[in-house]
């Protein structure tokens, strides 16, 4: 009975996702396109469909990463950017933009997406090194904050050296879905499948960690190795999403909260629902970003920040003082 209950919720989220992808394909800043022939066919299948699928997959990756972060650190306010991945990605983009004019061929090969992805992994790796490993979640969390500050300062140095890059870097910081294409959709689709598969296999470790680290160790689970794998999945999911869409705020933080009551406290269900919820949240925000002030499009990160902030404020008002979110 309980299994059918969760299956019904899963089907409902998948149907909502499909409806949003359809709306994202039909609606845009220049209005609705209903003609599947002629010029509209190019707009629908070469621009809007990959953009909608890409926005959904990026949101799903961030939602999954947010669910992992909150479970791994046992902190309901943890998000995918805590371990320095966001500031690292921004530094990678800033570095590519700042030094591309030197004519280095390897910079051209890496590109902005590759720079963001590489920077995100460097940020996470630096946090691990500073924390002296991955065995202390609190130490790792604090190290991520320190690395974010250091890499953020380095990125400010790039904008000081090249003031003309400020607008490009600012666009990356606010999130951008307009450049999503089929290549990005393919990369994020493969990354999402891989991350979901690995996470679901080792999700019992998160169930054990929810009982406390000492209790989890008495169950005989190799927590240190499983924690490292989860950090790797978190970095991969965040890096792939950020490389394609920039720093989209609040999706990874808000998505797990939006679906928490639907999961019934089961980590495996919670992570799947967080992924679906993240995709729904980001694609819904993208639809609003391109239609609210059409034909002008606003950065999708602005919409997610407003929606996520309003939701979390409402959540805080409903939560008694001293209670868990």
- Predicted local confidence at residue 325, as pLDDT: 59
With beta carbons less than 8 A apart as the criterion, state whether 98 and 158 touch: yes
Q: How large is the average pLDDT for residues 177-184?
A: 88
Name the band, by pLDDT with cuts 50, 70 and 90, for residue 59: very high
Domains defined along the chain, listed by start: 2-318 (1.10.3470.10)
How many whole angstroms from its chain centre is CA 42?
28
User: What pTM was computed for the model?
Assistant: 0.88
With beta carbons less than 8 A apart as the criterion, state whether 67 and 275 touch: yes
**Tokens 């919670």, residue located:** 270
Q: What is the pLDDT of residues 128-167, one digit of tens each?
A: 888 877 667 778 888 888 888 888 888 878 777 777 777 7
- In the predicted model, what is the mean pLDDT of the chain? 81
pLDDT over threshold 70, residue 243: yes
Other CB atoms within a 10 A radius of the CB of residue 35 amount to: 11
DSSP string, 27-87: --TT------STHHHHIIIIIIHHHHHHHHHHHHHHHHHHHHHHHHTT-TT--TTTTSHHH
With beta carbons less than 8 A apart as the criterion, state whether 199 and 230 touch: yes
pLDDT over threshold 60, residue 39: no
With beta carbons less than 8 A apart as the criterion, state whether 144 and 82 touch: yes
């Amino acid at each position: 009975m309980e299994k059918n209950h969760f299956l019904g919720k899963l089907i409902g989220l998948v149907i909502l996702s499909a409806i949003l992808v359809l709306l994202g394909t039909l609606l845009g800043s220049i209005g609705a396109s209903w003609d599947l022939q002629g010029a509209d066919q190019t707009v629908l299948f070469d621009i809007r469909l990959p953009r909608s699928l890409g926005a959904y997959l990026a949101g799903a990756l961030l939602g999954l990463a947010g669910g992992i972060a909150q479970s791994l650190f046992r902190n309901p306010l943890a998000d995918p950017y805590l371990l320095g991945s966001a500031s690292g990605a921004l530094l990678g983009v800033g570095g590519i933009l700042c030094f591309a004019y030197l004519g280095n061929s390897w910079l051209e090969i890496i590109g902005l997406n590759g720079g963001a992805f590489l920077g995100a992994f460097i940020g996470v790796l630096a946090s691990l090194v500073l924390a002296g490993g991955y065995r202390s979640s609190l130490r790792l969390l604090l190290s991520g904050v320190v690395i974010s500050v250091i890499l953020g300062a380095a990125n400010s140095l790039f904008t000081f050296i090249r003031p003309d890059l400020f607008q490009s870097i600012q666009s990356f910081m606010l999130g951008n879905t307009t450049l999503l294409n089929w290549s990005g959709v393919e990369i994020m689709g493969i990354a999402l499948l891989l991350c979901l598969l690995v996470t679901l296999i080792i999700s019992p470790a998160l169930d054990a960690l929810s009982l406390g680290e000492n209790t989890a160790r008495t169950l005989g689970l190799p927590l240190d190795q499983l924690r490292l794998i989860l950090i790797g999945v978190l970095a991969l999911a965040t890096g792939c999403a950020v490389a394609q869409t920039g720093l989209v705020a609040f999706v990874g933080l808000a998505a797990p909260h939006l679906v928490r009551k639907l999961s019934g406290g089961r980590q495996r269900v919670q992570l799947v629902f967080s992924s679906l919820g993240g995709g729904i949240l980001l694609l819904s925000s993208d639809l609003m970003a391109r239609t609210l002030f059409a034909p002008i499009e606003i950065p999708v990160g602005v919409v997610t920040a407003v929606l996520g902030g309003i939701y979390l404020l409402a959540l805080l008002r409903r939560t008694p003082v001293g209670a868990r979110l």
